[in-house]
């Protein structure tokens, strides 16, 4: 589904391998601190792969993105 992120972070629902696709604006996505806390910015048209090993994913910013998961 599509997710909108604002100034405060939101926990992104989902699990398993997934692809995030920026659909508008700019969103910062951050992995769980326990897994290293790496972050990246997504803008419209950019995509990122999130492995099945990643559980908690946080997003914030002035933008939106779509998430596509595999069972």
All structural domains of the chain: 2-69 (2.60.120.10)
Task: Please tell me whether residue 53 adopts helix, strand or coil conformation.
Answer: coil
Mean pLDDT in order along the chain per 10 residues (71 residues): 60 92 95 76 96 88 92 74
Q: Is this model's pTM higher than 0.85 or not?
A: no
Q: Which residues partner with 18 through β-bridges?
A: 50, 69
pLDDT at 15: 87
Q: Which residues partner with 33 through β-bridges?
A: none
């Amino acid at each position: 589904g599509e997710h909108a992120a604002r100034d405060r972070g939101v926990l992104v629902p989902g699990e398993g391998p997934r692809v995030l696709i920026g659909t508008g604006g700019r969103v910062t996505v951050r992995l769980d601190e326990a897994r290293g806390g790496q972050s990246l910015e997504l803008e419209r048209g950019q995509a990122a792969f999130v492995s099945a090993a990643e559980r908690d994913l946080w997003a914030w910013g002035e933008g939106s993105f779509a998430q596509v998961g595999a069972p």
